[in-house]
Structure 1
């Protein structure tokens, strides 16, 4: 808001990341409001699609989602008919995940909106600035 002094907060990495996240979520909800999709769910679907049979615990760890919250996400995606869970006979404590045909179709139909040139998040960064930001965020996140 104009006229409110932010001081050093306006240069705080944590604060700026949080504000950036809020901007991204606002754009996400505007673009996906009629798709019954919540932030994080497309990422879950995407990774399951790339790794059929992935263990639920490994998915939670890879996406840094708490196991209890991952269980809720998977249950919701299962209720929507996008994900199927299976429990292998050799390890009854393990839950393996697969996209259903409906889940595969959903991911295919929304891939370009989520990742493509017409992605839901628009900003004023140049392509080079966006690449730099992605590189720096990957570094902060400890990703290769």
Structure 2
């Protein structure tokens, strides 16, 4: 995009200049756009994107330590504690503290949590396809591939 790229608003065109060449800026704007789209289409489920992500990861890895989930998903420990607390309050996640390591907190989906993930996974996962509507299937695959490479998630199953 040229240096004099414009963003149209209700007030007037806004010059963004070289910002539109910045990876961090573009990823942040893309994230905001995706979150807005998420809440517009999936807000009825009462979860934020990160909360469903945590439920998904716990469902695939029952008994995983809370700190490991936080580290893997780059969630700050204090935020992870609050997020987990909300999911426990909703009855979707259970916490267990092993007798041999009182500092560890292991997370699992409750039966209600597993049922929720199973019944909502298509809506949440298919939502990812809606995110790509501005791209051709080939462009979407290329973007996903580049983001996996950039984030170091190439080797993740």
What TM-score, normalized by structure 1, do the two folds share?
A: 0.94
C-alpha offsets along residues 47-67 of structure 1, whole Å, 9 cap, x if unaligned? 000000000011100111011
Contact 1:31 1:120 in 2 (8 A): no
Contact 2:132/2:140 (8 A) holds in 1: no
* 1:74 aligns to 2:74 (yes or no): no
Which runs of structure 2 are paired with 1:44-123 in the superposition (5 Å)? 44-116=54-126, 119=129, 121-123=131-133
Higher relative contact order (CA 8 A, sep 6+): 1
Which protein is bigger by CA-based radius of gyration? Answer: 2
TM normalised by structure 2 equals 0.86
The answer for unaligned runs of 5 or more in structure 2 is 1-6
In structure 1, list runs of 5 or more residues that go unmatched: none
Query: What SS is found at the alignment partner of 1:34?
Result: helix
Provide the secondary structure at the position in 1 that maps to 2:121.
helix
Moved over 2 A (4+): 116-123
The count of residues paired between Structure 1 and Structure 2 equals: 144
Per the alignment, do residues 98 and 120 of structure 1 end up closer, same or farther by CA in structure 2, a change over 3 Å counting?
Answer: farther
